[in-house]
Amino acid sequence: MKEIRIPGSKSITNRVLLLAAIGDKPVVLYNLLESDDTVFMRGVLSSFGVRFEQQGTGLLVTPPAVLQGDSEIHHIGNAGTVARFVSAVSLIINGEYGLKGVDRMHERPQADLFKALRSLGVAVECQQNDGFLPARYQGLGGNLEQRVVTLSGRVSSQFVSALLLVAPKINGGLRIEMDEIPPSQPYIDMTLEILSSWGVNYSVEEEGRIMDISQGLNEPTEYTIPADMSGASYPSAWATLMRQDLEIKDYGSKTLQGDEQFAEVCAEFGATVSKNGEDCSFSTYGEMSPGAVFDFSPMPDVAMTGMVLACFSEGETKFIGLESLRVKECDRIQAMVDGFALLGIETEVVEDDVTIKGGAYWQTPENITKVQAAQVETDSHDDHRIAMCFGVLRSVLSSRSGIAAEEIFAIGEPHCVAKTWPNFWEDLASWEA
């Protein structure tokens, strides 16, 4: 059985980096993801007085006595978690600071978070368009005008997580009230689990619609970050399509991530998934289930990987719960559909629902020759997940056709995988070997 390892979770890395930065004593973090997004997070936190030092295989994070803004506007690329989490730091920091990013980051909505911050007393000044970065913030130092904030339940789960992460440093804590449960609830559950590890007391009411976070942290001396479950979707899908026995080492017995449910999607496509301690294996493949309907609202970041699985399955597979994909690093629905069209894969899009018409018809030698002749290049839109999805698809197609992957079609902006998996292309090649 082939054994591989995948990077640590980006979602958890940036959450615990922030918690370690606002705590009262040093914390050593292990299995920390080193990627563009986590580098941006560390860069901004460093400017607020947080110290980062390598300690053996871990990273020692030493918080300052007081977080202090430096009046600078910090560039954060297209890092959504950094944009949302560091915006919320305005509730507990002293002084002023700002955030800006690439053009796409300036198109990603922040209005609901800014509205929440303003309702709590933060002065948020948008530099171009209201509700979007770039923006400047005047910190409150933990002293809020009130301790109750209301949000629409349809907002990004990152907005809610951002408020949850800083709540323990707010004088008197924070109560978050939503009119409905957000669609990406597993990400909020993840944040609450991490808060528990940091000794935070909280209560949850009405099935998660209301959360009351108490003031105070009791952080651990060390914390190990589990593997990235969004990242795990790529080798999982690859193994399922290749019918390759594969074991992901250090997968984690408790990943805290809703994207772990992607293993159940692989099972629908024929994989037998089993856990053994901290490891997870994919093996003993049966037939793919045609004509399924999948609701990806609990795990939108891996919906595109599911679409790749569907391309190789006979019949029509429908994907729902994709609304948030329109406002990610790119419009991920359109990016996948456009890429599929270049390869001759038929799809149907109705509002935010996508139907993939999979099967052998687009994998024929005639169609592959046509794609080669057209010198097709799929557009990644500088989005790591789009690039990695088409990387998996191309690898499987190469194996089935006997043609070298790079000769079938090109993948635009391959460097963008550095956002979460800098060595993805080398690792993918090692799976194929």
Whether 417 and 279 share a structural domain:
yes
- β partners of residue 411: 378
Whether 210 and 244 share a structural domain:
no
Q: How many domains does the chain have?
A: 2
How high is the pLDDT of residue 47?
98
List residues with catalytic annotation.
301
Q: How confident is the prediction for the chain on average, in pLDDT?
A: 95
Whether 207 and 263 share a structural domain:
no
Whether 147 and 263 share a structural domain:
no
Domain contains 393: yes
Q: Note the pLDDT tens digit of each residue in 396-416.
A: 999 999 999 999 999 999 999
Whether 424 and 334 share a structural domain:
yes
Whether 204 and 265 share a structural domain:
no
How high is the pLDDT of residue 182?
77
Domain contains 40: yes
How high is the pLDDT of residue 253?
85
Q: Which residue range is the domain that position 182 belongs to?
A: 2-215
- What span, in angstroms and rounded, lies between the C-alpha atoms of 258 and 178? 20
Among residues 176, 193, 215, the one where a domain terminates is 215
Domain contains 221: no
How many C-beta neighbours within 10 Å does residue 260 have?
A: 22
Phi, psi (deg, nearest 5) at residue 160 = -65, -45
CATH number for the domain that contains residue 245: 3.65.10.10
Token pair in block for residue 319 = 């994907």
The confidence band for 340, taking pLDDT boundaries of 50, 70 and 90, is very high
Among residues 192, 215, 238, the one where a domain terminates is 215
Residue 211 has pLDDT above 90, yes or no: yes
Whether 379 and 266 share a structural domain:
yes
Whether 132 and 252 share a structural domain:
no
- What span, in angstroms and rounded, lies between the C-alpha atoms of 401 and 405? 9
Domain contains 220: no
Whether 190 and 279 share a structural domain:
no
How high is the pLDDT of residue 156?
84
- What span, in angstroms and rounded, lies between the C-alpha atoms of 83 and 14? 11
The whole-number average pLDDT for the span 361-372 is: 97
Domain contains 196: yes
Residue 289 has pLDDT above 80, yes or no: no
How high is the pLDDT of residue 168?
98
The secondary element (H helix, E strand) that includes residue 55 is strand 51-55
Output the CA angle 190-193-196, nearest 5 degrees: 155
Residue 153 has pLDDT above 80, yes or no: no
Whether 151 and 66 share a structural domain:
yes
pTM across the whole model: 0.89
Whether 206 and 245 share a structural domain:
no
Domain contains 180: yes
Domain contains 222: no
Whether 8 and 76 share a structural domain:
yes
How high is the pLDDT of residue 180?
85
Q: Note the pLDDT tens digit of each residue in 160-184.
A: 999 999 999 999 999 999 988 877 8
